[in-house]
């Protein structure tokens, strides 16, 4: 095999051509932890992905993924990728979550850039709990809070300007998609029920490439919602089947 490659290189050199460079394997080192003092189940796994977030889409493009069994945090994992897949002009970030079977226990909700634009290749990330303690939260309403989207239709949303949702005590909703602003009146929003308005008013501006898809995705997800579950600073909208359509977290003041 070596002699064959050398022969090919010699032919290319004779023709005045350079032999194509072989892709170099590389990796990103990620250490994940969370604040809560909670023991993990025996089947807990840490899943870390390398994502291309250059486009403002609801779902980022995955370049690499690694899953390891863990018994506690901090836990570290190396995610391999092909160096030829990296464009220095684009932006890449880490996605991370801790799973128990099909349940997501913890998830990274902050944008964590890596590799390009002076970003590191070794990062430490803090994950957010997706399911709170068994004791019910005293906070159950939607109103008076700015909510920031982090998941749409089961896909992690890693965006610098995620959709924002608000609602006042009269049932008037406000939605900023990252491009346009929408408003309308919700008739049902009590006792876990929520029905998106049949008619909403919006600014209808032309969105940048990719941002229009994010806008369509969040409007479609909320339009399918018939209920909600609030767990402290986390808000989940659900459809008639009880499946999550979109997940939000309380935006810090």
Q: Tokens representing 77?
A: 């994992």
pTM over 0.75? The answer is no
Q: Tell me if 173 sits within 8 A of 166, measured CB to CB.
A: yes
What phi, psi does 52 have (nearest 5°)? -95, 110
| Phi, psi at 67, each rounded to 5° | -125, 130
pLDDT at 137: 40
Phi first, then psi: give them for residue 175, nearest 5 degrees.
-135, 125
State the CATH architecture for 145-250: Beta Barrel (2.40)
H or E element in which residue 18 lies: none
Q: At a CB cut-off of 8 Å and minimum separation 6, what does 46 contact?
A: 32, 67, 68, 69, 70, 75, 77, 96, 97, 98
The structural domains of the chain, with segments of one domain joined by +, span: 25-129, 145-250
The tens-digit pLDDT sequence of the chain (253 residues) is 445 455 555 554 555 545 455 557 899 999 999 988 888 999 999 999 998 887 654 456 889 999 999 999 999 999 999 999 999 999 898 989 899 887 888 888 788 899 999 999 999 999 988 754 433 343 457 888 999 999 998 888 877 789 999 998 888 899 999 889 999 988 766 667 888 888 889 998 888 877 888 899 999 999 888 888 888 889 999 887 677 889 999 987 5
CATH number of 25-129: 2.60.40.2990
| Alpha carbon distance 163, 158 (integer Å) | 11
**pLDDT at residue 212, as a whole number:** 85
Distances in Å between the alpha carbon of 186 and those of 158, 195, 244, 250? 28, 6, 19, 20
> Three-state SS for 164?
strand
């Amino acid at each position: 095999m070596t002699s064959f490659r050398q022969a090919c290189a010699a032919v290319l050199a004779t023709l005045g051509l350079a032999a194509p460079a072989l892709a170099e394997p590389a990796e990103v080192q990620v250490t994940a932890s969370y604040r809560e003092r909670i023991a993990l189940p025996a089947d807990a796994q840490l899943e870390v992905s390398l994502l291309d977030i250059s486009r403002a889409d609801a779902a980022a493009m995955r370049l690499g993924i690694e899953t390891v069994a863990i018994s506690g945090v901090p836990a570290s994992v190396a995610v391999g990728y092909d160096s030829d897949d990296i464009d220095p002009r684009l932006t890449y970030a880490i996605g991370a979550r801790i799973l128990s079977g099909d349940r997501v226990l913890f998830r990274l909700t902050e944008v964590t850039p890596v590799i390009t634009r002076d970003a590191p290749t070794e990062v430490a990330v803090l994950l957010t709990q997706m399911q709170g303690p068994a004791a019910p939260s005293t906070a159950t309403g939607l109103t008076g809070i700015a909510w920031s989207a982090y998941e749409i239709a089961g896909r992690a949303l890693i965006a610098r300007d995620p959709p924002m949702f608000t609602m006042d005590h009269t049932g008037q909703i406000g939605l900023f998609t990252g491009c346009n602003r929408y408003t309308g009146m919700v008739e049902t929003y009590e006792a876990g029920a929520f029905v998106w308005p049949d008619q909403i008013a919006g600014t209808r501006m032309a969105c940048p490439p990719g941002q229009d898809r994010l806008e369509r995705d969040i409007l479609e997800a909320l339009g399918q919602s018939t209920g909600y579950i609030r767990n402290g600073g986390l808000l989940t909208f659900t459809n008639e089947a009880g499946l999550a359509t979109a997940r939000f977290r309380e935006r810090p003041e």
